Amino acid sequence: MRRLLLFSALLALIFTSFVASADGDDDDDDETNFMGIDMEGVGEVSQFFFIFTLSIVAWKPTFKWLRLKGPELFNREPREFKRMLGGVNRKYHTIHNWAGFLAALLGTIHGYFLEWHWTLWAGVAAMWMLVISGGVLQWKWPPKEIRKGARLLHMQRLLSVAVIILLLVG
């Protein structure tokens, strides 16, 4: 699954770099390429992954609603439906974690090659804080107190809003 996700991300990166370089836009003369990959395209892929990562804002209440209303809505046995929904939720969170990591990684690469303003770097640093705290939630080895602090940090909507604002302002 991980290999498939990484391979898909690489294909998306390559595809968008070709699309971005073939759009015929000649008024941007300071295009930055690295090994034939357009760094503007990398930023677009990063933006796609970041938007998908933020889709958890809609998924979480939908998941809770489906746990309550789903069995009768889809005419399924409650226990079987909740087990199936739990599997979908675990897969969604796995994809959410990888998409967040790829968004932060590709955003950092994009910023490095385009020499960003400090506000964009502050947004990416906040994004990395979210990624690292989300990763700590998945690992079982940190002590419970560390995971609790990481959960509090990761669940802060204010930090996500700050990332969005800093990236839009920059």
For residue 43, what are the CA distances in angstroms to 22, 26, 115, 119? 16, 19, 13, 16
Query: Chain-wide mean pLDDT for the chain?
Result: 79
Predicted confidence (pLDDT) per residue in 94-133, tens digit: 999 999 999 999 988 888 888 777 888 888 888 999 898 8
Is pLDDT larger for residue 162 or for residue 170? 162
Looking at residue 27, what DSSP letter applies? Answer: S
Q: What percent of the chain has pLDDT over 70?
A: 76
Mean pLDDT value of segment 146-154: 80
pLDDT score recorded for residue 65? 93
pLDDT score recorded for residue 43? 81
Q: How confident is the model at residue 135 (pLDDT cuts 50, 70, 90)?
A: confident
Q: How confident is the model at residue 40 (pLDDT cuts 50, 70, 90)?
A: confident
**H helix count then E strand count, the chain:** 7, 2
pLDDT score recorded for residue 92? 94
Structure tokens at 91: 């897969």
Looking at residue 121, what DSSP letter applies? Answer: H
Structure tokens at 108: 């950092």
Query: Does residue 5 carry a pLDDT above 60?
Result: no
Q: Mean pLDDT check: name the lowest of 3-7, 81-85, 161-165.
A: 3-7
